[in-house]
Amino acid sequence: MRLQRGVGDKWVTMTLNVFVPEADVTGTLERLDAAGIEWRRWWGLGCHRHPAFADVPRADLSGTDKLAARVIGLPFHDNLTDATLTELQHA
């Protein structure tokens, strides 16, 4: 997994999203679930896939379609312990 470029250095965020290699998404999510670590797809699989936006005109969203399943939101708050952070690193 990798973080978005510049996070924590050039900009801050309210969520911690990581990019997971396409071949590793299923295994990564299974390991997180097995370890009891919650994760989210903050944008679902793209805004254009939500029923409320189904009829909204759009440009080519093939980039969104390619990335959406690979971007995973992980726990990110000031109550995370060192032990939990270590667990996240090894999940």
Q: Where are the domains of the chain?
A: 1-23+61-91
Spatial distance between the Cα atoms of 39 and 29, rounded to a whole number of angstroms: 8
- Minimal CA–CA distance to 39: which of 5, 7, 10, 1? 1
- Minimal CA–CA distance to 40: which of 64, 65, 71? 71
Spatial distance between the Cα atoms of 31 and 18, rounded to a whole number of angstroms: 15
pLDDT in tens, 10-64: 877 777 888 899 999 999 999 999 988 889 987 789 888 889 998 999 999 999 9
- The pTM (predicted TM-score) of the whole model is 0.70
